[in-house]
Each structure stands twice: as C-alpha cells, then as structure tokens.
Structure 1
Amino acid sequence: MKTNLVTHAHIEIEKIEQEAWFDLFTTATDNNALNSSVTCKRFGTSVALADPTTPIFTFNRVLGLGIGKPASKAEVELAIAWMNEYAAPSYALQIASTTHPDTIEKQVQAKGLKRTGNGLAKFYRNATPAVSHPNQSSLEVKIVTPQCAADFGHVVQAGFGLPVSVIPWFSALVGRPKWKIYVAYDNSVPVACGAMYIDNNWAWFGIDATLVEYRGRGAQNALIKRRITDGISAGVIGFTAETGQPSEGEEDNNKSYSNYLLAGFNRLYIRPNYVNK
C-alpha cells in the first residue's frame, strides 16, 4: 500500500508541474505579442516546451514522458522531432523514475541525447500548516494584483538574468486562472517572487527568484510559507516543487534546496536530464 501511495504522489507531482509549465507557455502562445518565439505541444502524456531565444533547457524541454502509462516509441520520436524543429539546440528530456525509464532511456540515447548534470530534486509536502522560520524576514510578501503585475515580471527577469522579453510574458500570469503570484517587497521595492499553480487540489511552487542584492534576507522562506498557508486555505492536499540537485555533500550549501527542506518538504526522487548536445 505504501508503495502505491508513493507512486501516486510521484505521478501527481509530475502532472501538476507539467500542467503549470504548459499553461505558462500557453500564456505566451495565446498572445504572440508577449513572446512570439514561444511554442508548446502535447504528445500523449507529455508536453514539449520551446523558446529558442532563451537557450537553456528550463525553457526547452519535454516533461511527462511515460507518466500514467508507458510512452510509446512513436511518442518519444515525435517529441524529439518536434524539439529538433522548434527548440533551442541544447534542449532536454526529463524522465521521471516512475515511467519505466530504462526503456525510454535507451530510445533517447539512441537519438543522441546524453544524461548530464545532477538532475532535479523533486520535492513533496503534505497539507500540514507551515511553521515560522526561526529568522523572520523583514520583507513583506504580497499577492500580486493586475495593477502591479510588472513587479513580478521584472523580478523574474532580473533575478534569473533572463532576456527582457520575458517581462510581459511572466507579468501576464497575474490574474490568470489557477495561478497565485507573489512578490516580496522592501518597503515599495519588489525584490523577490514566487508563483503557485493549483489544479485538482495539488499545488506546484516555482518561479522563485530574488534580486542578487537582497539574497540572504529570508525572502524565499517567507514566500514558501505564504504559499503553503494560502494553498491549504484553497483546499490543496499536496504540494510540490523542484530545485537543482546539489552534488553529494553540498546539499546544505544550496539555499534553494535547503529552503524547501526547512519548510517541511521531502525529496522524493531525482529526475535526470537528457540533453541534446
């Protein structure tokens, strides 16, 4: 029974993440004025995301291959062919551990994609109330209204060092169904942000960014706690997030990784990246 529950959690956290990212990309494709280079497509249980003007695999990847049911060879080949046409050359396929990965890995590697890096740590948390961090932040976390949507877009762009073209794209998430968008302020200055996507009583946390000069002031701890509290109020039964998996022995030195552990999240598994080189 416990194994079945763990497998169910794996599937749900993969699904909610891929739906959040697909909706994020749909936000741009619904209005090409936001970012005309962005496109996305579904292939069976998976989604493909492409933005060749932002040549990092976060914005150019396939999620969900084999989630729910094994991926067919045709599905894998169609996804790779589509990525070769629309994505930045260094795109990635991310294959979860619940998808019978041995079979998919062989197909992916036969197409020239190689496993690289440490992968992503996939976190899960139940709906128990969040506890306060020992060191309270002086920054004020607010849910973003449409009038202040650009605050979110600017922090995303500056915090991650992304092209300025992402500012209107991410700003457009404010007020979009299923999304709750947050910004932490130092007085009136927007300095950090985070987002929550809720669907079928599950919540995905992501787009966590802090301006360089404000790091170390507890912004992300406060943003995580606020999202947990608001998610529970909205009926969320399970939360998920992901960060880069640190090298062995370096976990305590990775702030993003540590922040989620301190907030009561557990790492369920590591999801590898298979990158086109």
Structure 2
Amino acid sequence: MNSHFSQRSSPAEEEAIEVKAFVDLYNVSPAELRAEEHFECLPINRGCAISLPSAPAIGLNRVLGLNSVTDLEEAYEWMIGKTGHRFFQVNIDKVSAGTKDWILAKGLLEYGVGWAKLVYDGSSVNLSEPNSFRTRLVHVEEAMLFGSMVCKGFNFPSTLTRLWSAIVGKGGWSCFFALDGEYPVGTAAMYQSGTYAWLGGGTTLPEFRNRGVQKALIKSRVEHGLGNGVSTFAVETLEPVVGEPNISFDNLRKVGFRQAFHRKNFRL
C-alpha cells in the first residue's frame, strides 16, 4: 500500500465514501423507479444495506461498511426480507473476533474471489501518458444516453436506465463519456464528498474494449477530482487471480492506484 496514504486514512474512510455514493444513488433515484423496482436502502451508522432485486450486480444488493455485530444483525434482518441476490461484504482481516463468530453462526458462505479495494492519494499518479480517447463531462440532456450505456455495459435491464441517468448533473456527481470522434463509446462516474471521491460506472462498448477507453476515463476522473479538491480516491474491482486477466485492476494500477485491502463477499 502507498505509505503516504496509510498515514492519512483508514479502511473505514475508504468504505465510507463508497457507502455515501450508494446511499446518494438511492436518494437521487426517481420515486417511481424505487416503487416499481423495489429499490430500498437502509443507512446504518457509516454503512448501509441496499437492495435492488432486478439488478444482477452485487453492488446494489449488499450490506457494506458495517463491522459491529449489533449493526450487522439489524442489516441482516432487513436484508433477508428482500428478494434477489443478497451479499455481505467485509475486510475480514480488520473485523473483530465477535464479527467472525457472527458470520460463522449465520452460516454465511464465501462467494467468489472477492473484491480488491484500491486507493489513490495524489502522490503517485501517472497522467503523463497521452490518452487514446478524448473524454468529456456528460451534459444533462444526455442523461438517458448515459444511463442506457451503463445498463448495457453491466448487463442491467433497460428499466434501470432511469437509475443511472438520475445522477447526471446532481450535486456530488461527475459523469463522463469517452469519445470516438464525437460518438460516446464509454462511461464513468465519480462521486465526491469533501476531499474523498468514489469511482464507478465504468463501461465500454464491446467493439471498443481493450483499446484504452477505461484508462482514459480513470485519468480524466482523477484530474477532475484533483481540480475540485479531492485528495483521496477509492474504487473497487474483482480481486486478481493468478493466471487470469484482470484489465480493470491493471488499468488502475498503471495509473497509480494501490491496493488497500481485500474485501470478501458472503452470500446471505
């Protein structure tokens, strides 16, 4: 881990900015979408439980940022009443023995390889290499296009286009397109709260993948954030597995992000 970052922050802050982003995603989402898609969110202290059954992604169906048994029990009781996929995410190396016992008592089974949490603190970024693609902020009138591209990229149902389009132009959010000429071929988003920012929403049209689109969007968000007072960026992606390609992880490392910890996924 970047030693400068380790002196300035803690995993709790790295998690907290991600929690804030997803709670805000819920807050800015249209009321009719929440009702139709059974989209719900329960903030608990610095963490939350979030449920969007029609979304296949773990990120929208999970318990995040909670460590105490009391908070976890509240989130668990809320979450088991939901449909769809349900997960609990935790940096198992940092939790108490009581939390580990709680996981065992609930019979929660580890799911997949888990996620890598990566951070960047502004001291080691590599922005000198020219981008292969031009990027720009998404205009408010392009919100539906942005939302539809995110849904296609993450294999979300088209009914969730309104979810991702809702963040365009909202306070704290910055949304980006990568362009081939003037044609959008990739998307990305950044949520800022104070001096922290969370990066997400990165997708690329299939025919433009593996050509530097996401690397350009990572750098653009970092540059934009630094210009707006961000000192610490956080993002997550699949934990690398030896012998298997992980382009997202590699792109983040090339720009200057460092892995802070490994977050395990448990199925509820």
Q: Helix, strand or coil for the counterpart of 1:53? A: coil
Task: Give the Cα–Cα distance (whole angstroms) in 1 for the partners of residues 101 and 21 of structure 2.
Answer: 28
1:225-260 CA distance string (max 9 Å, x none): 11111111101111111100021343xx21101000
**Contact 1:133-1:221 within 8 A present in 2 as well:** no
Q: Structure 1: how far apart are the matches of 2:191 and 2:53?
A: 24
**2:99 matched to 1:104?**
yes
Q: Does 1:42 align with 2:37?
A: no
Aligned twin of 2:131: 136
Alignment of 1:78 with 2:70, yes or no, is: no
**Alignment-derived partner of residue 213 in structure 1:** 207
Cα distance, 1:6 vs structure 2? 5.1
| Cα deviation, residue 144, structure 1 | 0.8
Q: Is contact 1:174-1:181 (8 Å) kept?
A: yes
Instruction: Provide the rounded CA distance (Å) in 2 between the counterparts of 1:10 and 1:98.
Output: 11
Q: 2-side partners of 1:56 and 1:4: how far apart?
A: 29
Asked if the contact 2:124–2:256 (Cα under 8 Å) also holds between the matched residues in 1, the reply is no
The aligned counterpart of 2:28 is 27
Letter matched to residue 227 of structure 1 = R
User: Residue 25 of structure 1 contacts residue 39 of structure 1 at CA under 8 Å; is this kept in 2?
Assistant: yes
Distance in 1 between the 2:44 and 2:127 partners? 42
- Structure 2: how far apart are the matches of 1:42 and 1:247? 32
Q: 2:117 aligns with which of 106, 122, 126?
A: 122
Deviations 1:116-172 (A, max 9, x none): 2211100011124743475631x3211011111122111101111111011111001
Query: How far did 1:11 drift?
Result: 1.7
Distance 1:263 1:60 in 2: 29
> Which of 233, 257, 263 is the matching residue for 2:255?
263
Q: Any unmatched runs of 5+ in structure 1?
A: none
Which range moved further: 4-13 or 118-127? Answer: 4-13
Q: Name structure 2 gaps, 5 residues minimum.
A: none
CA distance in 2, matches of 1:187, 1:7: 40
Q: 2:267 aligns with which of 254, 264, 275?
A: 275
1:43-62 residue pairs with structure 2 within 5 A? 43-62=44-63
Distance 1:112 1:7 in 2: 36
Residues 205, 239 of structure 1: 8 Å contact kept: yes
Q: Secondary structure, in 3 states, of the residue corresponding to 1:76?
A: helix
Question: Could you tell me how far 1:9 is from its partner in structure 2?
Answer: 3.0
CA distance in 2, matches of 1:227, 1:191: 16
- Counterpart residue identity of residue 235, structure 1: G
Seen in structure 2, the aligned counterparts of structure 1 residues 229 and 3 have a Cα distance that, compared at 3 Å, is closer
SS of residue in 2 equivalent to 1:161: coil
8 Å contact kept, 1:160–1:209 = yes
How far does residue 8 in structure 1 lie from its aligned partner after superposition? 2.9
Asked if the contact 1:40/1:47 (under 8 Å) is kept, the reply is yes
Structure 1 residue aligned with 2:184: 190
Aligned to 2:112, the other structure's residue is in SS state strand
Instruction: State which drifts further: 11-20 or 41-50.
Output: 41-50
Q: Deviations over 1:92-120 (max 9, x none)?
A: 11112574244213212322321122111
With over 3 angstroms needed to count, the CA separation of the structure-2 counterparts of 1:127 and 1:133, relative to structure 1, is: closer
Matched, 1:238 2:232: yes
Q: CA deviation at 1:216?
A: 1.4
* Aligned 8 A contact 1:120 1:245 in 2: yes
| Aligned equivalent of 1:16 | 17
